[in-house]
Structure 1
Amino acid sequence: MIQPHGGKLIKRIADNEERDFILSLNLKRIYIEKDEALDAEKIAIGSFSPLEGFMDREDLKSVCSHLSLKNGIVWSIPILLQIDDPSHLKIGEKVLLVDKTDNNPVAVMDISDIYKLNKKEIANTVFGTLDENHPGVKRLFSKGDYSIGGKIKLLNRPSFPNKEYELDPEETREIFRERGWKTVVAFQTRNAPHRAHEYLHRLGMEIAEGLFIHPIIGLKKEGDFDSSVILKAYQILINSYYPHRKVLLAGLSTSMRYAGPREAVFHAIVRKNYGCTHFMVGRDHAGVGDYYDPFAAHKIFDEIPDIGIKIVKFYNVFHCDRCGGIVSENTCSHPEEMITKISMTKIRKALSEGKRPPSTMLREEVADFLIENFNLVTEDYR
C-alpha cells in the first residue's frame, strides 16, 4: 500500500451551463436513497477524495481484502451504489442519479462497472459479523444485490436537515488559513457532548492550534441522538466553556457505518480532506454493541501505512472522586469505588426518564438543554 493522495481535493461539480445541458438530455434515471445521495455529494465536493465515484468491483475487492483502493491508496470502507435490477443498464452509458425522497437529480454517473455483490463476504470483512442486528450489516443486506460503479459529477445538492451547519472541505481549509491554524485536531462524534468528550477537547486544544468538532449528522441507527440536538448541545458547551478562537463546529452529513476500526480509518481520511493535521481516536470508535474490541481502532492504525494525518489515541476517561475531576487511566490509579464511568447509555436512559445525569457526566447547561429537548432517532436506519 502507498500513502494517500497528499491531501489533494478531487472535486467533481458541474457548473450551471453543464448541469442544464445534462438535465436536457433524455438520460435513464436511477432512483437512490438519501444516504447514497449524500455519498454522491461527499464524493463530488472532495470529502471522500480520492474517490471520484462509486466503487467498481476491483476497488471493492481491494478495500475488503487490503484496506486500500486498487491503486494502493489506503481506503477502508466500501462506498457503493446498490441496486435491485441492472438489466436495463449497460457499461459506458450516462445515467441520472435521482434522490427518491424529493425527485431531485443529484448527480450524473458514467457507468464503468455493473456487478453482483457477495454481501456475506463484505459483511464479514468490513463489519466482522453477519448479524443483521448490526446496523451496518442491516443496511448492506437491506439494499440491492447488485452495484454499479463509475465516476459521478454533482448536479444539485441533496436536501437534508441541518445542512446549514455544514462546511465543504474547501471552506474549512480556508477558515483554518484565515485563523492561522497550522495544526488542527479533529474530533469525531455522533453523540451529544459529555464530560469525557470535554476532557478530550481540551487536550486537543493543547495539542493543536485549532479544534474542529465535526459531528456526523447523516443517517444513524435508531436510539442515537437527533442531529439538531447534538449540534445545539455543542453550541451551548462551546459558548459556555471554550475559547471561541480555538474551536470550529460543523456537521458532516454522511451515514454512520458502525464499522469500528475500519470506520476510524475512514473518518481520519475524511478529516484530512477537510484540512486537519491530527485526528482523535478514543475508546470504541464508531463501535456499536459488543461487536469490536474497545481499542481495535487504535490497533488498526499500527497495521496500515501513514495516511498523512497524526492519530492521537486516548484510552479510558472517567471521573475520579479522589482526583476531583475527569482523568484517564494514564493519570489516575485510584480504585473503582472512587470512579464514575461516563456512559452515554446511562446518560440517555436518565434523560429519557426526565432525570438529570450527575454533573460528573454532563455539564448542567447541556443537561438542561437535553432534558428539555430530548429527541432520539426513531426512524429505521434506512
Structure 2
Amino acid sequence: MASHVIKSSLIEPDGRVLVDLIVPENQRDLKASEAEGMAKVRLTKIDLEWVHVISEGWASPLKGFMREDEYLQSLHFNSLRMKNDGSIVNMSLPIVLAIDDETKEKIGDANEVALVGPDLNTVAILRSIEMYKHNKEERIARTWGTTAPGLPYVEEAITPAGNWLIGGDLEVLSPIKYNDGLDNYRLSPKQLREEFDRRQADAVFAFQLRNPVHNGHALLMNDTRKRLLDLGYKNPILLLHPLGGYTKADDVPLDVRMEQHSKVLEDGVLDPETTIVSIFPSPMHYAGPTEVQWHAKARINAGANFYIVGRDPAGMGHPTEKRDLYDPDHGKKVLSMAPGLEKLNILPFRVAAYDTVAKEMAFFDPARAKDFLFISGTKMRTFARTGESPPNGFMCPGGWDVLVKYYASLQAEEAASAVVSA
C-alpha cells in the first residue's frame, strides 16, 4: 500500500492561486526585444526588491504594482476585495511604483513600459498601465500614523520619489538575483511549499526577525514546536524567516545575520532537521501594527499556517521623541482581528529574559521579577561593540563571535575613516 504523503498546503494562498509572474525561459528573449522599444522606468534598489516580492507571489493575489483602486483599498481598508467572489484578502501596505514628471511625460499615452534596474538591465514589463497622483502626505500618515520627520523608509523611498504612481500587470524577465552569496537562501513561496512537502510537515510555524537570534528566541521557537506536538501535530516545521530587503542603517546587515543564524543551527540551538532558514525579500517599513499584517499575510502565501508575533512587531522608537512609536501590544492584538487573516493561527510571543538564578534564558516569571535581566537589542549591540561578553547562556558562542567580529570591523572602518578625514 502506498504511503500517505502529507501535503504542506495546509493553508491556501490568498486568491487560491499562488501568483508567479516570471516569464518562462523560452519566451524571455522575445519579451526582452519587445521591451527595447518601450518607454523606460528606472527602478531604485527598493523598487527592485518589490519587483522580487510581487514576482514570486508573496503578495498574491497582486499581479503587479497597484493601480489606483487597489492602492486606495490598501491604504484605507488594509485589504483588497476579490473581484471574482467578493472575498477579502489582507493587504496592509501599498505596493506601488513612483515616477517623476519627466518619466510620466515620456510615457505619454503608452499602454506598457519597460522597468529597468539600477544596473540599467531590463528587469520587467508593466502592461495595461495606469498613472495616478502620489499623495505622499496621505500615504505616510495612513501607513505610519505620523508624518514626523525621520521615518527611515519614508526618507529613503518616499520623500525622494516622484509625484506619480504607475500600476499595471507585471511580467518579470528572469528571477531576481542579488549575487551576494545568499541567493540560495532566497526560497520563493513555491519552493518553500515544496520543501515543506518534502519534509512531510503537518504544521508550519513562521518566525520573522531582523536581529540576531539569541537563546531567548530559540527558547520561544523550541517551545512553540513542543506546544504544537502537544496539540497532536506529528511534524511541525519552523520557518525561520529573517527579513532580507531594505533595513535602517543601524540594523545588523543581512550577511552578518545569516552567518549568525547558521551558527545557531550548527551549535544545535535549533534543530536543522525541523528548521528551514530562508530570506524574506521584502523591504522593511517599521510601520508597526500596519506592517505586521503584511508580514503575516506573506507567510500565508508561503504555506505557513501558524505565525509567531512578538512584542512591538515592526516597531521602532519614535523618530523625534523618547518613546516607542507604537503600543508594543497592538501588533498581536491587530493580527488577531485583521480582515483576511482569519485562516492564520496567531501565536503570541512569550517574553523571555535572562534568569540570573538558572543562568540561562527562560520565560519571564512575574513572581520573581527581580531574578530576570532584560537584554535589549541596544544593550546586546553595546556588549558586542565593547567586546564585553553577555551572560553565559544568552547566545550560543559561535553566534556571538560573528557579532563581535562584525562590530570590531565596523570600529576599524570608523577609525580609518576618522584618520582620512583628519
Same-fold call, TM cutoff 0.5 = yes
Asked whether 1:84 is paired with 2:117, we answer no
Asked whether 1:113 is paired with 2:124, we answer no
User: Normalization by structure 1: what TM-score?
Assistant: 0.91
Tell me the residue number matched to 1:222.
Answer: 249
Tell me the residue number matched to 2:33.
Answer: 24
- Read off the aligned partner of 2:278 and give its amino acid letter: A
Instruction: Return the offset for 1:231.
Output: 0.7
- Read off the aligned partner of 2:355 and give its amino acid letter: C
Asked whether 1:198 is paired with 2:231, we answer no
- Read off the aligned partner of 2:129 and give its amino acid letter: S
Overall identity of the aligned pairs, in %: 28
- Read off the aligned partner of 1:34 and give its amino acid letter: K
- Which structure would you say has the larger Rg? 2
Tell me, in whole angstroms, the C-alpha distance in 2 between the residues paired with 1:316 and 1:73: 30
Instruction: Return the offset for 1:156.
Output: 2.6
Instruction: Return the offset for 1:47.
Output: 1.6
Tell me, in whole angstroms, the C-alpha distance in 2 between the residues paired with 1:336 and 1:73: 41
Asked whether 1:373 is paired with 2:373, we answer no
Unaligned residue ranges in structure 2 (runs of 5+): 1-11, 83-87, 229-235, 318-323, 414-422
Q: 2:339 aligns with which of 292, 302, 305?
A: 305
Tell me, in whole angstroms, the C-alpha distance in 1 between the residues paired with 2:110 and 2:306: 40
Tell me, in whole angstroms, the C-alpha distance in 2 between the residues paired with 1:41 and 1:260: 23
- From the superposition, tell whether residues 14 and 298 of structure 1 become closer, same or farther in structure 2 (CA, over 3 Å): same
Tell me, in whole angstroms, the C-alpha distance in 1 between the residues paired with 2:402 and 2:263: 8
- Read off the aligned partner of 2:277 and give its amino acid letter: L
Mean Cα deviation higher: 170-179 or 203-212: 203-212
Aligned residues: 372
Q: Quick check: 1:106–1:157 contact (8 Å CA) kept in 2? A: no
Q: 2:114 aligns with which of 90, 96, 102?
A: 96
2:32 partner SS? helix
Q: Quick check: 2:39–2:106 contact (8 Å CA) kept in 1? A: no
Q: Quick check: 2:79–2:339 contact (8 Å CA) kept in 1? A: no
Asked whether 1:291 is paired with 2:325, we answer yes
Tell me the residue number matched to 2:416.
Answer: none
Q: Quick check: 1:7–1:272 contact (8 Å CA) kept in 2? A: no
Instruction: Return the offset for 1:315.
Output: 4.3
Q: Quick check: 2:359–2:393 contact (8 Å CA) kept in 1? A: no
Instruction: Return the offset for 1:204.
Output: 2.7
Q: Quick check: 1:127–1:136 contact (8 Å CA) kept in 2? A: no
- Read off the aligned partner of 1:286 and give its amino acid letter: A
Q: Quick check: 2:13–2:300 contact (8 Å CA) kept in 1? A: no
Tell me, in whole angstroms, the C-alpha distance in 2 between the residues paired with 1:9 and 1:150: 18
Mean Cα deviation higher: 293-302 or 170-179: 293-302
- From the superposition, tell whether residues 316 and 184 of structure 1 become closer, same or farther in structure 2 (CA, over 3 Å): same
Tell me, in whole angstroms, the C-alpha distance in 2 between the residues paired with 1:337 and 1:182: 40
Q: Quick check: 1:56–1:113 contact (8 Å CA) kept in 2? A: yes
Tell me, in whole angstroms, the C-alpha distance in 2 between the residues paired with 1:16 and 1:83: 29
Tell me the residue number matched to 1:180.
Answer: 200
Q: Quick check: 2:73–2:80 contact (8 Å CA) kept in 1? A: yes
Instruction: Return the offset for 1:64.
Output: 1.4
User: Normalization by structure 2: what TM-score?
Assistant: 0.83
- Read off the aligned partner of 2:125 and give its amino acid letter: V
Tell me the residue number matched to 1:320.
Answer: 355
Instruction: Return the offset for 1:324.
Output: 5.1
Unaligned residue ranges in structure 1 (runs of 5+): none
